[in-house]
Structure 1
């Protein structure tokens, strides 16, 4: 169907489709849009191959051998015009509905006829992509498809990984608490601006470990998950800022050896306040 110089296929009003195709055509998000305003009098031939995933090879220009990971995730869209010398006034827009939703790394490709044939991507770009659809833009006409890779979820619920995290962070927390006890016993001898910043850093690390151990896998509640993520983001940023504050303090002691004023309060306000703005 041509509207205002644009060819759209398939059209929504079903006239000559068989009963088996009617539901799929009406519900499918796979579409072809072609600007025909400057092509002159041409005949456009457009075909949508519903599912060739198990038939056609997924080898690409980067991997000419058979690739067991990537697949043609969706229909193959084919478009050609009778006047092959006509150049496209604007790129052809192709919308591909994914056959499977648990795939990532969408790439727009066209079939390159050679021996053996393979999928190439030059002249095609991805305009948009989500879990269910990928929109491509290409500067030529041929047979097009979207190649995608399966999503492999990290095994974050591994008992071994959980045990290592608990043991490692518990040991680190114990050492940090031991450091605070030593500081408390010897505070009259070690008291300084640098020591105060260091104690703040230790406290921030202990808080971050506690939040991580207590809430990192609490994902069943969206609000709780958001709060924990924000708290982790904040406290980890505080740790980095306290390290920066300690570096600033050391640099100041070296450069201004006989400085009489203290900037401790400013450093602490900076380290605990800036992360609030960032988060």
Structure 2
């Protein structure tokens, strides 16, 4: 009856309820005044471990639709295949007559969260959960797990540690090592007994070519941006012919500065992610500044496009003053990204879903969808800029010939701005469309390399 009841509690239809309970346990644990917290899923597993220590000494086998309970007595070595999904092998027993109790769960992954010591949000329990107990000391046991989802990689051999996260429990790899990994099975070796399984995560293309393209491209980009800023500093006093020319160069400088600082934080974030010891607070800080300055790049592009539109549809010698347009530009270019980046970290960080721990420090995708706080504004700005370009081209083609030299100069500046936007807008649009593609097809190495190439060469032209 116990096995049947537990089997009902672990069916697929119960997964949503267990997710709610596990999330609620995680969120509420820091607020308690006690030295430890309790997790319902962890308590269920612990109660089953307790039951296995109080069974009769006879050998038996009980099979239910969701759970297989087997107790076997052996003397020398032990090897058995349970439910055609987990193979257990003991080659160095303690000696004498020994017994081993094995509980193999078909769907315990619906109950236990996939959190590990790093509290990563990308891991998945990708094999059966198996509980093993013995009446003797066993320090060398091997498990061969059948993989549930072949599209996942990066296997970790883990056991359920009831003491992690102040008693909430989590998956721990201490004492367990990966022996082999192929397309169908993963073999682990552990030096203790408890509840075991394997954690896996989406494959992230990790190739030397991808790394070289990224870092060489970022280096070229940063060098080009520094040259751009030096040129702007040299010619700064000569650009005050009219307000439009001045504001265009203000936009260029801020686009270059934003991209340069974003690239610097990108390198810092990559160094933090590659470090042996993880530092989530530092990774979160790097992600915040990368998010903010990349958004600032796009919003300054929008400010440049709006300046182009305003000057194209208004009377050349009237309208807003230079000070007013500067104030609007800086509020749009830095104020809006600051609001978006701050709201994103404020909403997702308390739940631990702000950053992801695969690759460089960057906004999380699953489950918080924090990355949308960058992708949506960026692609929306690209679309708006395309519309503005079409409107401006129509206005300039239908406008009468300039009546004096001032208007001719103004018209020339507008042509330069339009030409720059016509190049930058599709370039950035293509780059971050490929970024979305890496989410849709995370295993496609070609998309990752293309995105790394275009992303690392985002240089002001």
Q: TM-score, normalised by structure 1?
A: 0.50
Determine the C-alpha separation between the residues in 1 that align with 2:310 and 2:109.
60
Secondary structure, in 3 states, of the residue corresponding to 2:302?
A: helix
Change beyond 3 A, Cα 1:96–1:163: closer
Counterparts of 1:101-180 in structure 2, within 5 Å, are 130-132=123-125, 146-151=148-153, 152-155=203-206, 160-161=212-213, 163-180=215-232
Report if aligned partners of 1:197, 1:246 keep a CA contact under 8 Å in 2.
yes
Change beyond 3 A, Cα 1:260–1:3: closer
Tell me what 1:51 maps to. 85
Report if aligned partners of 1:237, 1:275 keep a CA contact under 8 Å in 2.
yes
Change beyond 3 A, Cα 1:179–1:209: farther
Tell me what 2:397 maps to. none
Report if aligned partners of 2:232, 2:253 keep a CA contact under 8 Å in 1.
yes
Tell me what 2:136 maps to. none
Instruction: Give the deviation of 1:234 after TM superposition.
Output: 0.3
Instruction: Give the deviation of 1:20 after TM superposition.
Output: 10
Report if aligned partners of 2:258, 2:297 keep a CA contact under 8 Å in 1.
yes
Determine the C-alpha separation between the residues in 1 that align with 2:61 and 2:208.
43
Instruction: Give the deviation of 1:277 after TM superposition.
Output: 1.3
CA shift digits 1:227-259 (9 cap, x unpaired) = 111101100000000001111111111111243
Tell me what 1:261 maps to. 320
**Number of residue pairs the alignment of both structures matches:** 184
CA shift digits 1:114-169 (9 cap, x unpaired) = xxxxxxxxxxxxxxx9533689xxxxxxxxx9333242443377773465135422
Determine the C-alpha separation between the residues in 2 that align with 1:277 and 1:17.
65
Counterparts of 1:233-248 in structure 2, within 5 Å, are 233-248=291-306
1:270 to 315, 320, 332: 332
Report if aligned partners of 2:266, 2:290 keep a CA contact under 8 Å in 1.
yes
The answer to whether the aligner puts 1:210 opposite 2:268 as a matched pair is no
Report if aligned partners of 2:299, 2:332 keep a CA contact under 8 Å in 1.
yes
Q: TM-score, normalised by structure 2?
A: 0.33
Secondary structure, in 3 states, of the residue corresponding to 1:170?
A: helix
Report if aligned partners of 1:201, 1:243 keep a CA contact under 8 Å in 2.
yes
Determine the C-alpha separation between the residues in 2 that align with 1:216 and 1:187.
38
- Runs of at least 5 residues in structure 2 that lack an aligned partner in the other structure: 12-44, 68-81, 88-103, 115-121, 129-146, 154-202, 342-461
- Runs of at least 5 residues in structure 1 that lack an aligned partner in the other structure: 34-47, 54-74, 78-93, 102-128, 136-144
Q: CA RMSD in A?
A: 4.5
Secondary structure, in 3 states, of the residue corresponding to 2:108?
A: strand
Between Structure 1 and Structure 2, which shows a larger proportion of strand residues?
1
Determine the C-alpha separation between the residues in 2 that align with 1:247 and 1:149.
43
Counterparts of 1:4-153 in structure 2, within 5 Å, are 12=48, 13-14=51-52, 15=55, 32=66, 49=83, 51=85, 77=106, 94-96=107-109, 130-132=123-125, 146-151=148-153, 152-153=203-204
Determine the C-alpha separation between the residues in 2 that align with 1:275 and 1:269.
9
The answer to whether the aligner puts 1:194 opposite 2:258 as a matched pair is no
Change beyond 3 A, Cα 1:213–1:52: closer
Tell me what 2:347 maps to. none
Tell me what 2:433 maps to. none
Determine the C-alpha separation between the residues in 1 that align with 2:262 and 2:291.
9
The answer to whether the aligner puts 1:224 opposite 2:282 as a matched pair is yes
